[in-house]
Amino acid sequence: MSVKHAISRGLEFGRSFFQIGLLKSGARIAAKLRADRFRVGPSVRAAQPQAFLPSRYRYYRTSLKGLAAQLQSAAFRRRFAGGSPRNRAVFLAFGLGVGLIEQQLEDDRRSAATCQEIQAVFRKKRFQSSLRPFTSGYRLEDYIIGNQIGKGSNAAVYEAAAPSARMEEGKRFLVEERDEEEEAEKKTVRPLSCCSLKNFPLAVKMLWNFGAGSSSEAILRSMSQELVPAGPLALKKENEQIALDGEFGVVPRRVSAHPNVIRVYRAFTADVPLLPGAREEYPDVLPARLNPAGLGNNRTLFLVMKNYPCTLRQYLQASRPGSREGSLMVLQLLEGVDHLCRQGVAHRDLKSDNVLLEFDSDGCPRLVITDFGCSLAQSDSSLQLPFNSNWVSRGGNASLMAPEVATAVPGPGAVIDYSKADAWAVGAVSYEIFGQPNPFYGAMGLESSKYQERQLPPLPPRVPADTQLVVRLLLRRNPSKRPSARVAANMLHLSLWGRRALANQDSAGMKRLADWLLCQSAVVLLKGRGRAGGDRVEAELQRSFLSSLELEDLRTAVGFLLFGQQRRPPHAPSTQAC
């Protein structure tokens, strides 16, 4: 009898041993083992015997290790005290098998403990914005408004500066009238120059107000989704409770700061002003006092944020990121989406126009998710929206709706699950990042409700194989077979920085991975102590990864990568170095 066969027979014998009632029902034991598997900390050694052993069998020690030792000891005693050779072999194999299970559980507990310890260290290090804090700014008059830098379907964005902001010597930046030639040039929104960003470090977003009324309370309630990325001091104290009421009895969540999610520093209501280009760019949304034919209300909501040079779409029209740079950009989107999902927020309108971009000290693009007007923010964090009628909004851009959203049918008890919808949109935007047309745009584009995965066009050969794998997995139609944003981000992290830890995976693979995580944590902590490396995109990504470590997510990411390696052609490109 081979060792493998003996262990198999021993485990089979042990299963029937449990089922006949000596150690109570097998289901109860399985539940106990699952709970004990993830228990970490000082008290990981054992479970109390009375939790799953009858009183007459409490002489067994309190863990599987003790049970294995008892069984093995009994087998050796039978060796010299008699008994059939077959029974002795099976009894010993059962003891050895239980010991192997205990060893695997012990390794898992240690790995989980390592992940939680690292996570606790990096969660204490909160993200700090590079923008200087300011204590005022709850009125429109507190800002100097510059040129229009963007316009969407529900708002216009202007560059701005606080009066206390640092300006160029001897210059005041006031709104001036321009001749027709300058106005024509301004209609084409272009990336901002460094000089403009220095003089106007802020951006003011003015929302359209068609039906919310002109009271501050009504405006804040109607546009509460826009306040999802608002900071703790964004609203005046008297308006805080109004904004938290939300629509349909749902409390909008406020997400904590993250390097890949926009931060709203101030939110207030004010009378709609006549800003540069208003009559030409958006005459219909102006109130009647500014345009007799306008349909807008007198007051609206204003949001104050950091000013960014351009959108992701504008950047990609003028630049072509390298393979590693593109992988870092996809990774940033996944980190931002994961941060939102963990806090119960689905963006529901993720596209290249709704991603802002700046550059770190090394010139690497830093991506920031913005525009939360279509977001879903629920108090229970389920990200499941009741879909009982067609009046319930599915979200924003129909072209980039995940298949489970686009194909949802309204009816009693129907729900739309948005937990992986934004991750699917990241997969679609990834094509644009790597210089390809978005496969779901245009008259000849694929329809997210009908496409087949084999219809997806291939990414350029220069794209790393692991990144191509992540994009393919994100665009799976079935959400149950699609990785979450966290798992997909872990795959790219391991591909970019943990390739050696993935080599020659065996029974010691998770231990090797845990050792790499400890080394990586030490490196990131040392780099973060200096100003030069603390604001780099790669350092921010590594901190996000380490602050979100979960053993099961990490194990799933490793499994996807190993599966991809097995199916990969022998000469497929790997992740490229800097």
**d(Cα 362, Cα 328) in Å, to the nearest integer?**
13
Output phi, psi for 311, to 5 deg.
-90, 165
Q: State both tokens at 40.
A: 């970490």
Q: State both tokens at 17.
A: 């041993």
**d(Cα 325, Cα 321) in Å, to the nearest integer?**
6
**d(Cα 209, Cα 328) in Å, to the nearest integer?**
37
Identify the three-state secondary structure at position 559. helix
Sign of CA dihedral 321, 327, 329, 330: positive
Identify the burial level of 490 via C-beta atoms within 10 angstroms of its C-beta, where 0-12 means exposed, 13-18 middle and 19 or more buried: buried
**d(Cα 205, Cα 305) in Å, to the nearest integer?**
8
* Residues β-bridged to residue 365: 359
**d(Cα 162, Cα 143) in Å, to the nearest integer?**
5
Give the ranges where 178-273 is alpha helix by DSSP (H): 180-186, 194-199, 216-222, 237-243
CB atoms within 10 A of CB 497: 18
Q: How far apart are the first and last CA of the chain?
A: 53
Q: Of 469, 434, 436, 472, nearest to 453 (Cα)?
A: 472
CB 491 within 8 A of CB 464: no
Q: State both tokens at 442.
A: 């245009």
C-alpha distances in Å from residue 464, one per residue of 315, 329, 495:
21, 13, 9
CB atoms within 10 A of CB 522: 10
Q: State both tokens at 453.
A: 């995965």
* Residues β-bridged to residue 417: 384
Non-local (6+) Cβ contacts of 128 within 8 A are: 257
The radius of gyration of the chain from alpha carbons, rounded to an integer in Å, stands at 29
* Residues β-bridged to residue 205: 157, 303
- Residue 271: how many CA atoms within 13 Å on its side-chain side? 6
CB 368 within 8 A of CB 308: yes
Identify the three-state secondary structure at position 317. helix
CB 490 within 8 A of CB 557: yes
Identify the three-state secondary structure at position 145. strand
Task: Say whether 349 is catalytic.
Answer: yes
- Residue 411: how many CA atoms within 13 Å on its side-chain side? 4
CB 303 within 8 A of CB 207: yes
> Which of 36, 108, 338, 349 does the annotation list as catalytic?
349
Catalytic positions are 349
